[in-house]
Structure formats: C-alpha cells, structure tokens
Structure 1
Amino acid sequence: MIPVTGYDGQRVAVLGLGRSGLSAGRALRAGGAHVLAWDDNPEARDMAAEEGFEIKDLSRDGAFDDIACLIVSPGIPHLYPQPNKAVANALQAGVPVDNDIGLFFASLGGADWAVHDVAPRVVAVTGSNGKSTTSALIHHVLHEAGKDVQLAGNIGRGVLDIDPPGDGGVVVLELSSYQTELARALTPDVAVFTNLSPDHLDRHAGLGGYFAAKRRLFAEGGPDRAVIGIDEPEGLFMAGQLATAPGDDRVIRISVERKLAGPGWSVFARKGFLSEYRKGKQQGAIDLRDIKGLPGQHNHQNACAAYAACRSLGLSPKVIERAFHSFAGLPHRSQVIAEKDGVTFVNDSKATNVDSALKALNAFANIRWICGGLQKEGGLAGLEPGLRNVLKAYVIGRDAAQFALQLTGTEAETCTTMQTAVARAMADAQPGETVLLAPAAASFDQYDNFEKRGEDFIAQVRARL
C-alpha cells in the first residue's frame, strides 16, 4: 500500500466505493486521515462500514462542512454531462476534488527514497485504444529483463494498493481519460500517448474535451520523456507542443502509417518491421510478423509505444525483442482462443468502439465477424475500410437488426444472442478463415462488461469444438 500523505488528522470524503474508492479510503486511513464514505449502492456502503469507514450521505446540504478534500471514483461525472450532486456540493463549498491517481502521485516517494541508489520511476500510458496492451507489454518486457516492476491503474491493481517501489523499481500505470482529467497531481517520468479516436464524448463534452483530458498527462505532468503516437492530428500537434526543437529527444514520436525521419528520436513500424531512429541513424529493428502475441497493425503500434518506453528506461533492443516473443497478449484483445480444422477463433471483445473494431478487422483475412451490442455515437461508417476482409457478419445485441442494416454491402445475419452467432459462424466457417468477435459496440445491453461478453464467446466456441 502507498499511504496517502498530507491529510493526517483531517476529514476526507470518498465518493464511490468500488475498487479504486475503497483502495483510496484505506490508503488515506493509513496516512492518518479520517475517512467519510458514500456510494449510492447500499451494498457498497455496507461493505465500507464493515471496514470501519464512517458512512455519510455526501449529496445532502452541508455535507462538506469541515471536510478537507473529496476523492471521486472514475465512473462518477464531475463536470459533463452534469456533475454528480455530491461533487457539486463539494465545489460549492470550495472543497478540492481529486482522485486516487492524484493521491498516488502526491504521496509517492519521500524521505525514504534518499536511500535508493536508483530512484524508482513511473511510466504512465494513456490513449483511446491499445493502452492496456501497451501497459502490459511494457510490464512484461521489464519483468523479463529482471527489473522490479508493478502494473496498476486501469489494469491490474489499484494504484494505491501496490507496494512502495524499491531501488530502481518501475511502476507502469494504465490511465483512462476519466483518471487523467481529474487528478490534481500528475508527475510520471515517462508518459505514453498511443492514439486518439472518438470515445466517452458525453463525459468530456466532445472530442476536444476528451483530448484535453488525455493531454493533461503531458502538459501538466511534465514527463522526462514523452512517447507520442502521431498518426492522428492531435498526437502530431501535442508532439510539436512538447518538443523545443526538431532534435529534442525528450519526445519520441511513433507511427504505423509512415517512416519517420529527421534529427529527433522516432520508432515506427512498416509492413511488420519495427525501426528505431535517433539523430538520423538507425538504432534498432525488430521483425514483428512472427510474434503471435502482437498480431496486426494496431498491435504493432502498441509494440512501437512499448519499445520506445523501454528504450527510454535504458533497455537494449535485443532485450526488448526477446521479451516481445514471450508476450502472450491480453484476454479479450486479439486473443487467439482456439484453432481447429484450419479455422482460427479470436476473441477481441475489448473492441468496444468503431476504431478498435476496424483495427481488428484489418488484422485478419477471411473473417466470420461476430459484432453488435450497445452502439456508441457516430455510427458504423468508419468500419468500411475493414469490411473487405469480412465474409459475413453475425450480429448480436438487443438492436441487432438495426445494427445489421448499417453494414451496407456486407452479408449480415441477425443472430441476437452469442450462442446463435457462434453456432452459425462455426457452421459456415471453412479452412483458412477466422471467426472473430470484435463487437464495435459496448456490452451493457446484454452483459455486465466486455470481459463477460468475451468469456461467453470463449465458452460457446469451446462447447462446440
């Protein structure tokens, strides 16, 4: 645990008692704070009460008298589309609002770090797609290199649940826009921006607000090194803002769309080959084509980002390449779950938006595509470049028929349930084809989360093998 400093003897409120909220409450208490907790869910309140936290309805008038700070869990809106009543009360009372990420950065380190020969470092990864795989890949490479490394944040453990890092230790954090937007302290040593595509637009009042939330990690975080994907205008703009000159190697630009030249530091992948250039000279290269845990261009982008982050931490290209080959990938992200009679079955349930689904469609050929669910804003037009790889779509979800109508020019069958979709796709599949779950939609119309959806796909496939 990382005890939270700065609130010894003070009353601190925690709103939202899921994993991050309870973790924050425990860390605050370990640092000497008196914690008041609230969640709209009575069961969550009961669990917090059993741990000894004082339960207080923070939505009531006067709830923030004599409270030093409000800690808000990621899923609770603080501004758009409208602030939660408790957050509004805190702001009206002039009470600072923070989250567990802000507490982590404000509390990490201290006098005890003076004994370290090599100070611990934090690598923080954000972006629209690929941040989980990139974070896990960085963690894997560092672990395989024998480093003391921990993975936390939006993946793995809560940031305040980890152990205080030891001499030369590295903490790898995956951070969502919900987390970067609110954190009052953001001070990573290495910050990574994978890419940007429309997502969570209601929460951030549009694409500009969404990008601004991501940008805070770099503009306010002031990392020693920034790894920036520049295949979208926003990333290209931010790299230009952070660099003080063309040769400023504090910014490492990455791309999977073009070769990067110039006097700076860059990492790019073309036709399955990763290349690193610095000061106009090639420093390293990796053939990514046979690395099973990193299929497709989207994973090559993840590889570029992870490679750049690990190089900035001093690892050699050969050490990174060896670790890439032993990376198994993450569940529900281009996860090959079975191969039989020449048919490959791939679970990419994490492809919850059009951009991530398009990347999955472009990673495979001859696809029997299982898609559908709770559709997000913007429609499905962005999928068109990947539909050339689709033999037939098998559409699930409560609105499967309406979803199928948008797949113009692609044969689509309305299946509604995962069971029916898997059965029909497997019956149609021929050797050399891929049955791919890449929904291009959220899961909440039928499942609690994308993990449950992916698990159902896996279960339905394995039941028929």
Structure 2
Amino acid sequence: MIPIQGVEGKAIGVLGLGRSGLAAVRALQAGGAEVLVWDDSLDARSRAEADGITVAELGRDKVMERLSLLVVSPGIPHLYPAPNPVIAAAYAAGVPVDNDIGLFFRSFASREWDKYETAPRVVAVTGSNGKSTTSALIHHVLETAGRDVQLAGNIGRGVLDIDPAGDGSVVVLELSSYQTELARALTPDVAVFTNLSPDHLDRHAGMGGYFAAKRRLFSEGGPDRAVIGVDEAEGRYLAGQMSEGPSDDRVIRVSVAGKLGGPGWAVFARKGYLSEYRKGRQVGSIDLREIKGLPGAHNHQNACCAYAVCRSLGLAPRVIEEGLRSYPGLPHRSQVVAEANGVVFVNDSKATNVDSALRALQAFKNVRWICGGLEKDGGLEALRGAAGSVRKAYVIGREAAAFAMQLAPEAEVCGTMAQAVARAIEDAEPGDVILLAPAAASFDQYDNFEQRGDDFVAQISRILES
C-alpha cells in the first residue's frame, strides 16, 4: 500500500466504492485522514459500514463543508455529459476534486528514497488502443531482465495497492482518459502515447476533449522522456509540443505506418521488422513476424512502444528481444484460444471500438468475424476497409440486425454468442480464423468485455469437446 501524504487529521470524502475507491480509502486512512464515503449502491454502502468505514451523504452541505478533498472513482463523470451531483456540490463549495492517480503521484516518493543508489521510476501508458498490451509488455520485458517491477492502474493491481518502491524499481501504469483527465498530479518519468481514435466521446464532449484528457499526462508534470506514436495528427502534434528540436532525444517517435527519418530517436516497424534509429543511424532491429503473442501491425506498434521504453530504461536490444519472444499475450487481446481442424480461434473481446476491431481484422486473413454489441458513437464506416480479410460476419447483440446492415461483408444475424460460434464453426474451412472482435461495448449482453470473451471461449470448448 502507498499511504497518502499530507492528509493527517483532514476529512477526505471518497465517492465510489469500487476497486480504486476502496484502495483510496485504505491509503487515506493509512495517512491519518478521517475518511467519509458514499456510493449510490446500497450494497456497497452496507459493505463499507460492515468494514467500519464511515458512510455519509457527501453532497449535503454540512458534510461537504467539512471536507478538504473529494476523491472520485474514474467511472463517475465530473464534467461531461453532466457532473455527478456530489461533484457539482464540491465545485460549488470550493472543495478540490482528485482521483487515486493524483493521490499516487503526490505520495509515491518517500524519504526512504534518499538511501537508494537508483531512484525508482514510473512509466505511464495512455492512448486509445494498445495500452494494456504495451503496459504488460514493458512489465514482462523488465521482469524477464531481472528488474524489480510492478504493474498497476487499469491492469494488474490498484495503483494505491502496490508495494512501496525499492532501490531502482519500476512501476508501470496503464492509464485511461478517465484517470488522466482529473488527476491533480501527473509526474511519470516516462510517458507513452500509443495512438488516438474515437472513443468515450460523450464523456469528453468530442475528440478535442478526449485528446486533451490524454495530453494531460504529458503537459501536467513534464516527463523526462516521452514515447509517442506519430501515425495520427494528434501524435505528431504532441511530439512537436514535447520536443525542443529534431535532434531532441527526450522524445522517441514510434510508427508502424512507415520509416521515420531525421536526427532524433525513433522506433518503427515495417513489414514485420522493428528498427531503432538514433542520430540517423540504425542501432537495433528485431524480426517480429514469428512472435505468436504479437500478431499484426497493431501489436507491432505495441512492441515498438515497449521497446522504446525499455531502451530508455537502459536495457540492451537483445535483452528486450528475449522478453518480446517469451511474451505470452493477454487474455481477450488477440489471444489464440484454440486450434482445430486447421481453424484458429482468436479472442479479441477487448476490441470494443471500431479502430481496435479494424486493427484485429487487419492482423489475420480468411476471417470469420464475430462482432456486435452496444454500438458506440461514430458508426462502423471505417470497418469497410477491412472487408477483404473477412469471409463472413456473424453478428451478436440486442441490435444485431441494425449492426449487420452497416457491414460490407456478408453478415448473418445470430444474436447470441452460442449461435454465432456454432454457425462460424459450421462454415469454417482449413486456413480460416474465427475471430471475436466486437467493435462494440459489451453491456447490452454482458457485464464487461472479459465476460464476453470467456463466453466465446466456453462456446468453442463446448462444441469442440462434444
């Protein structure tokens, strides 16, 4: 646990009692704060009271005027489409609003660090797609190299639940826009921006607000080094904002769209080969084509970002290559879950938006595509470019018929995962890939994308084992 500093004797409110909220409660109490909590769920409040935590209606004037700070869980809107009433009350009362990420950055460093030969480092990863894989890759490579490393944030442990830093240790954080947009402190040593595509637009009032939330990771504290994907205009803009000139190697540019030139530091992948250039000279290369845990250009981008981070932390190219080759992949992210009768089954349930589904489709040939769910803003037009790799689509979800009408390839309305998997297996031929890449949220049929992916795997097992 990371005890929160500077809160001793102060009354702090915590809104939302999920994983991050409860971790914040424990960390604030460890720092000596008087903690008052609220959650709209009666069950969550009851569990808190049973654990001896003080429950109070934080929006009431007499409660709010006692608070020095309100700590908010990431899923609770603080501005768009409308602020939660408790947060609105905090704004009106002049009470600062923060989240667990802000608490972490203001409390992670301790006096113990004065005794260390090498200061601990924090790597923070954001972007629309690839955050989880990039974060897990960095963690895996560092761990394989024998470094003391922890993985936290949106993946791994809660950010305030990790162990205090040791001499020379590294913490790798995956951070969503919900986390970066509100944190009052954001001071990573290395910050990573993978890419940008439309997502969560209602929460951020459009693409400008969404990008602004991501950009805060770079602008609030100024990382010592920035690893930035430059295949979109926003990434190129951000790299330009962070750099003092073409040869400024505090910025490492990353691309899978083409070769990067110039005198600076760049890592890019072309035709399955990763290349590192510094001062106009190639200094490292890796053949990514046969690494099973990293299929497709989107995973090659993740590998480039992870490679750049690990190089900035002092690892040699061959050490990084060993880590990449042993990377097992993450559940629900381009995960090969079965092979039978010449057909490969891939679970990419995490492909919850159009851009991530497009990247998954482009990674494979002869695809029988299971898709559909709760459609996000922006429509499915971008997926038409992947029609060449798709033999047929099998559409699930409550609005499967409307979803199917927007698709260019032949589409069959299935409704349920069980029917979609069964029909795809019936149609499949040797050399086909049955791919779950929904291009939609899961909440119309499942609690989360993990549950959806688990159902996909369960249906495959049921049919193949029958």
Q: Report TM bin, short chain.
A: over 0.9
User: Secondary structure at the residue paired with 1:423?
Assistant: helix
Q: Which residue does the alignment assign to 1:261?
A: 261
Q: Structure 2 matches for 1:99-114, cutoff 5 A?
A: 99-114=99-114
* 1:437 partnered with 2:436: yes
State the distance in 2 between where 1:384 and 1:281 align: 38
Q: Which residue does the alignment assign to 2:463?
A: 464
Q: Structure 2 matches for 1:93-132, cutoff 5 A?
A: 93-132=93-132
Following superposition, which runs of at least 4 residues in structure 1 exceed 2 angstroms of deviation? 59-63
Q: Which residue does the alignment assign to 1:376?
A: 376
- How many Å apart are 1:50 and its aligned residue? 2.0
Q: Which residue does the alignment assign to 1:405?
A: 405
Q: Which residue does the alignment assign to 2:10?
A: 10
* 1:455 partnered with 2:454: yes
Q: Structure 2 matches for 1:316-355, cutoff 5 A?
A: 316-355=316-355
Give the residue type in structure 2 aligned to 1:43.
Answer: D
Q: Which residue does the alignment assign to 1:424?
A: 423
Post-superposition CA distance 1:335-380 (Å, at most 9, x none): 0000011100000000000000000000000001000000001110
- How many Å apart are 1:59 and its aligned residue? 2.6
Q: Which residue does the alignment assign to 1:46?
A: 46
State the distance in 2 between where 1:347 and 1:173 align: 24
Q: Is the 8 A contact 1:20 1:73 kept in 2?
A: yes
State the distance in 1 between where 2:4 and 2:114 align: 19
Percent identity, please.
Answer: 71
Q: Which residue does the alignment assign to 1:190?
A: 190
State the distance in 1 between where 2:182 and 2:285 align: 38
Q: Which runs of 5+ in 2 are unaligned?
A: none
State the distance in 2 between where 1:112 and 1:68 align: 27
State the distance in 2 between where 1:112 and 1:225 align: 24
Give the residue type in structure 1 aligned to 2:458.
Answer: A
State the distance in 2 between where 1:59 and 1:348 align: 40
Q: Which residue does the alignment assign to 2:361?
A: 361
Q: Structure 2 matches for 1:76-87, cutoff 5 A?
A: 76-87=76-87
Q: Which residue does the alignment assign to 1:218?
A: 218
State the distance in 2 between where 1:48 and 1:106 align: 26
Q: Which residue does the alignment assign to 2:314?
A: 314
Post-superposition CA distance 1:222-265 (Å, at most 9, x none): 10000000000000000001000110000000000010000000
State the distance in 2 between where 1:276 and 1:12 align: 47
State the distance in 2 between where 1:348 and 1:193 align: 21
Q: Is the 8 A contact 1:196 1:234 kept in 2?
A: yes
State the distance in 1 between where 2:147 and 2:47 align: 36
Give the residue type in structure 2 aligned to 1:440.
Answer: A
- How many Å apart are 1:60 and its aligned residue? 2.6
Q: Which residue does the alignment assign to 1:446?
A: 445
* 1:276 partnered with 2:276: yes
State the distance in 2 between where 1:203 and 1:411 align: 33
Give the residue type in structure 2 aligned to 1:452.
Answer: Q
State the distance in 2 between where 1:330 and 1:63 align: 43
Post-superposition CA distance 1:374-415 (Å, at most 9, x none): 00011100101111100000000000001001113x111000
Q: Which runs of 5+ in 1 are unaligned?
A: none
* 1:55 partnered with 2:55: yes
Q: Which residue does the alignment assign to 2:69?
A: 69
Give the residue type in structure 2 aligned to 1:136.
Answer: A
State the distance in 1 between where 2:245 and 2:343 align: 51
Post-superposition CA distance 1:6-37 (Å, at most 9, x none): 10010000000000000000000000001000
Give the residue type in structure 2 aligned to 1:250.
Answer: R
Q: Which residue does the alignment assign to 1:146?
A: 146
Aligned alpha-carbon RMSD (Å): 0.6
Q: Is the 8 A contact 1:59 1:89 kept in 2?
A: yes
Q: Is the 8 A contact 2:17 2:39 kept in 1?
A: yes
* 1:201 partnered with 2:205: no
State the distance in 1 between where 2:51 and 2:273 align: 52
Q: Is the 8 A contact 1:134 1:302 kept in 2?
A: yes
Give the residue type in structure 1 aligned to 2:459.
Answer: Q
How many residues end up aligned between the 2 structures? 464
Q: Is the 8 A contact 2:59 2:90 kept in 1?
A: no
- How many Å apart are 1:121 and its aligned residue? 0.3
State the distance in 1 between where 2:48 and 2:186 align: 28
Q: Is the 8 A contact 2:273 2:289 kept in 1?
A: yes
Which stretch has the larger CA shift, 107-116 or 9-18?
107-116
Give the residue type in structure 1 aligned to 2:416.
Answer: T
User: Secondary structure at the residue paired with 2:62?
Assistant: coil
Post-superposition CA distance 1:178-229 (Å, at most 9, x none): 0000000000000000000000001000000000000000011210000000
Q: Is the 8 A contact 2:373 2:444 kept in 1?
A: yes
- How many Å apart are 1:110 and its aligned residue? 2.0
Post-superposition CA distance 1:290-319 (Å, at most 9, x none): 000000000000000000000000000000
User: Secondary structure at the residue paired with 1:182?
Assistant: coil
Give the residue type in structure 1 aligned to 2:103.
Answer: L
Q: Is the 8 A contact 1:63 1:89 kept in 2?
A: no
Give the residue type in structure 2 aligned to 1:417.
Answer: T
State the distance in 1 between where 2:364 and 2:62 align: 57
State the distance in 2 between where 1:261 and 1:62 align: 61
